[in-house]
Amino acid sequence: MTAAREDFREILRLVRPGARVLDVGCGEGELLDLLTREKSVDGQGLEISQAGVAACLAKGLAVVQGDGDRDLDDFPTGAFDYAILSKTLQQMRDPAHALSQLLRIAEQAVVSVPNFGHWRVRWALLVTGRMPETRALPEPWWSTPNIHLCTLRDFVELCRELDLRIDACSALSGGKPARPIDPGHPWENWRSETALLLLSRRGAPPRAPAPLDLLGDVLPPEPAPKPRRKPKA
Amino acid sequence: MTDSAAAAASGEIQGEVMRFAANKPLRLDSGARLAPLEIAYNTYGRLNAERSNAVLVCHALTGDQHVASVHPTTGKPGWWSRMIGPGKPLDPDHHFIICSNVIGGCMGSTGPASMDPRTGKPYGLSFPVITIADMVRAQAMLVEALGIETLFAVIGGSMGGMQVLQWAADYPETLFSAISIAAAPRHSAQNIAFHEVGRQAIMADPDWRAGDYEAAGVRPEKGLAVARMAAHITYLSEAALQRKFGRELQRDGLSWGFDADFQVESYLRHQGASFVDRFDANSYLYITRAMDYFDLAAKHGGALTEAFLNARKVKFCVLSFSSDWLYPTAESRDVVRALNAAGCRASFAEIESDKGHDAFLLDEPQLDATLRGFLSAQAQARGLG
């Protein structure tokens, strides 16, 4: 596994063996393939591109060609143990709706988001006065697919708004091994390049993540910022 | 030598007719019973010792059992020769491929041109109206008679894809995998409308004689040809027609009359004229009727999901073509949505093509690659070499 796919290694760690997994935006199926081989999961992918779908089929993976923005609504409630959304939430038209859908379809969601509060992003904006282009967010503003960027603090706040519980969180930075973090800690909003979170519905019975139960129900000590707009629940 | 000729030379193609005696009638959805029953079928390859490599290919409206061997009437290669053969997605070296003529057809299976045992004359319009489920029930009898408990795959395009979906609803325990291509879970108003045009063309032909043309020694060739011409337009995309013919003329200048001035007219006339050599008008009426009656959800209170509730162990592959306006992608998506809701594992892809509905019969590398990938993964899961 390449260093760039540390997020895969972390997802592998989080997912229970034999679980039913939906990978939203599964691309060519690398992660699903890995999960199938190493964790014997019963996997299903959702992918928008025909090339990606063809590659998945060639690997023997079950994949549906479709658009995560639209087609999550078609999956039945509780069909999966995990729904994975890796680095695409910020590209979706309605991230709040997508998150709600993920946790309707699956018991837990594994979501990774690039952190716009990372010091490199803040520094780039402060020093150059231009939209930041960083290791994690390399495209210029006019061609980036990221239309809904957020900071780690924003994301934690959205989870609270949607009544979602953060069961585990780790930071991923430039191919280094994942580092378990408290997503509510202000310092982590500076130093985490990408955050990978395990989420569940607050009402759902607690289900321990594979190794570390960092937070459970505990939310950040700092006062949460007021949302500018009430997200759709 | 063509692939199919090579396979024939090696003795691997078998053309047979399975006969079911009067005491084993086919029970039809209409309540009627069909007996005796004959099912004409071809096989390619050999059934392995475990009987685990059988693949049933379901043909479309005007197809037949000659899926990968030379057609006895036209002398042309089988209609899916490009999909079946050594090294192709369906490989007689690995699979035991079965394709049977649907009941109601005219290539050897019991149909309106068959002898009615009660009268000693051809059935004609006294042949009972059949459904897609009836066709599948007959195929299931054939598969059982061949000693096959589980089909590794059932695959088909268009009406063949409808049969695949019906198989999944009615015989899920018999299927390991199911592949439905360019199909729909029901016939739409537009689908029925086009078929009605075809049927009216046949019935308006004076030679049709209320279906008794056989006794009079004539055939409603003009009506059947028009039916085929109208249907053929629905199999192609506007882009494909335009690319192929545009406004090109048959000869220099216009005729200032009603000859086939345009190449597209000549092409359609040829399609119609050659079709009547190999197809029976009454069969066309019965099979289009079966397709019009097709509505997989109807038997399940209108909920398509219910049709698939017992098919959770079947691995599905649903494919559509972007330019197919006869059975558009939205229809396949309905199937996938229902499969997902039923808890079935389904793969779905919309293949980019500008060739329209007929793309499933044509050179579409993406279709081949997709089928190859799905089938080889299923073969591995099934333990086939």
Cα gap B370→B27, rounded to integer Å:
37
Instruction: Return the pLDDT at A214.
Output: 43
CATH number for position B120: 3.40.50.1820
CATH number for position B229: 1.10.1740.110
Minimal CA–CA distance to A44: which of A106, A132, A119? A106
Instruction: Return the pLDDT at B171.
Output: 98
Q: Hey, is the C-beta of B332 within 8 angstroms of any chain A C-beta?
A: no
Cβ pair A205, A108 in contact under 8 A? no
Token pair 């990408």 is found at: A194
Instruction: Work out the average pLDDT over A48-60.
Output: 89
B339 lies in which domain range?
3-187+295-382
Instruction: Work out the average pLDDT over B334-354.
Output: 93
Query: Which 8-state DSSP code applies to residue B107?
Result: S
Distance from CA of B316 to the nearest CA of A (A): 9
**Measured CA angle at B11 (ends B18, B87), to 5 deg:** 105
Q: Hey, is the C-beta of B315 within 8 angstroms of any chain A C-beta?
A: yes
CB spacing of B350 vs A65 below 8 angstroms: yes
Instruction: Return the pLDDT at A217.
Output: 39
Predicted confidence band at A209 (pLDDT cuts at 50, 70, 90)?
Answer: low
If asked whether residues B21 and B164 sit together in one domain, one would say: yes
Q: Hey, is the C-beta of B382 within 8 angstroms of any chain A C-beta?
A: no
Please tell me whether the peptide bond between A177 and the residue prior to it is cis, using omega within 30 degrees of 0.
no
Instruction: Return the pLDDT at A204.
Output: 72
Q: Hey, is the C-beta of B348 within 8 angstroms of any chain A C-beta?
A: yes
What would the 3-class secondary structure string for B7-61 be?
Answer: HHHCCCEEEEEEEECCCCCEECCCCCEECCEEEEEEEECCCCCCCCCEEEEECCC
A189 lies in which domain range?
3-115+145-201
Predicted confidence band at B146 (pLDDT cuts at 50, 70, 90)?
Answer: very high
Q: Hey, is the C-beta of A37 within 8 angstroms of any chain B C-beta?
A: no
Residue predicted with more confidence, B116 or A136: B116
Instruction: Return the pLDDT at A6.
Output: 83
What residues of A are in contact with residue B323 (Cβ under 8 Å)? none
Query: pLDDT tens-digit profile of B148-192?
Result: 999 999 999 999 999 999 999 999 999 999 999 999 999 999 999
Distances (CA, A) of A155 to A93, A161, A183, B239, B261: 16, 10, 9, 47, 67
At position B344, the amino acid (one-letter code) is C
Q: Residue A232: is its pLDDT beyond 80?
A: no
Q: Residue A15: is its pLDDT beyond 50?
A: yes
Query: pLDDT tens-digit profile of B62-100?
Result: 999 999 999 999 999 999 999 999 999 999 999 999 999
Rounded (10°) angle between helices B189-204 and B221-235: 160
Cα gap B142→B131, rounded to integer Å:
17
Cα gap A100→B373, rounded to integer Å:
33
Choose the most confident range, by mean pLDDT, from A41-55, A215-229, B291-305: B291-305
Cβ pair B226, B271 in contact under 8 A? no
Query: pLDDT tens-digit profile of B51-64?
Result: 999 999 999 999 99
Say how many domains are in chain A. Answer: 1
Name which of B347, B350, B382 to mutate to probe chain A: the one with the most chain A Cβ atoms within 10 A of its Cβ: B347
CATH number for position A58: 3.40.50.150
Distance from CA of A33 to the nearest CA of B (A): 12
Instruction: Return the pLDDT at B83.
Output: 96
Last residue of a domain, which of B290, B324, B353? B290
What residues of A are in contact with residue B376 (Cβ under 8 Å)? 58, 60
Average of per-residue pLDDT values in chain B: 94
What residues of B are in contact with residue A59 (Cβ under 8 Å)? 373, 377
Query: pLDDT tens-digit profile of A143-194?
Result: 999 999 999 999 999 999 999 999 999 999 877 889 999 999 999 999 999 9
Q: Residue A233: is its pLDDT beyond 60?
A: no
Cα gap A171→A182, rounded to integer Å:
9
What residues of B are in contact with residue A54 (Cβ under 8 Å)? 349, 366, 369-370, 373
Last residue of a domain, which of B245, B265, B290? B290
Q: Hey, is the C-beta of A42 within 8 angstroms of any chain B C-beta?
A: yes
Cα gap B184→B192, rounded to integer Å:
13
On whether ipTM exceeds 0.95, the answer is no
Rounded (10°) angle between helices A50-58 and B365-382: 30
If asked whether residues B120 and B225 sit together in one domain, one would say: no
Instruction: Return the pLDDT at A218.
Output: 39
If asked whether residues B62 and B205 sit together in one domain, one would say: no
- Residues of B taking part in catalysis: 158, 324, 357
CB spacing of B346 vs A66 below 8 angstroms: no
Instruction: Work out the average pLDDT over B292-298.
Output: 98
Last residue of a domain, which of B290, B320, B338? B290
Q: Residue A31: is its pLDDT beyond 60?
A: yes
Minimum mean pLDDT among A160-164, A208-212, B335-339: which range?
A208-212
Say how many domains are in chain B. Answer: 2
Residue predicted with more confidence, A44 or A221: A44
